Amino acid sequence: MRENREKWMELCAKAADEQDPHKLAVLILQINALLEAQERRLIEKGGSVRQNGVMREVDRRYGMNES
């Protein structure tokens, strides 16, 4: 689990600086795949996606919960 979070953070940092649209799209697909895998794991456990640390980090950094 820890390595997934570290990989997610690494990919997000790379995406934030990427200037090439094709490379950025590839990074976004990789980030999305990690988040979807985590979501599936949580759903299988019967947990809420919003309780996940990765999603809390997205909310904290990018205000995804703001109206």
- For residue 16, being part of any structural domain is answered with yes
- Tokens matching residue 5: 């979070």
- For residue 12, being part of any structural domain is answered with yes
| Per-residue confidence (pLDDT) for residue 28, from 0 to 100 | 94
- For residue 67, being part of any structural domain is answered with no
For residue 67, pLDDT beyond 60: no
What pLDDT digit, counting tens, does each position of 6-60 carry?
898 999 999 999 999 999 999 999 999 998 888 888 778 776 655 556 666 666 7
Q: Rounded to an integer, what distance in angstroms lies between the CA atom of residue 54 and that of residue 10?
A: 13
- Tokens matching residue 63: 């205000």
Residue 64 pLDDT grade (very low, low, confident, very high; cuts 50, 70, 90)? low
- Tokens matching residue 34: 């990690």
The domain of 11 spans 2-62
User: pTM for the whole thing?
Assistant: 0.64
Domain count, the chain: 1
What are the φ/ψ torsions at residue 46 (nearest 5 degrees)?
A: 80, 20
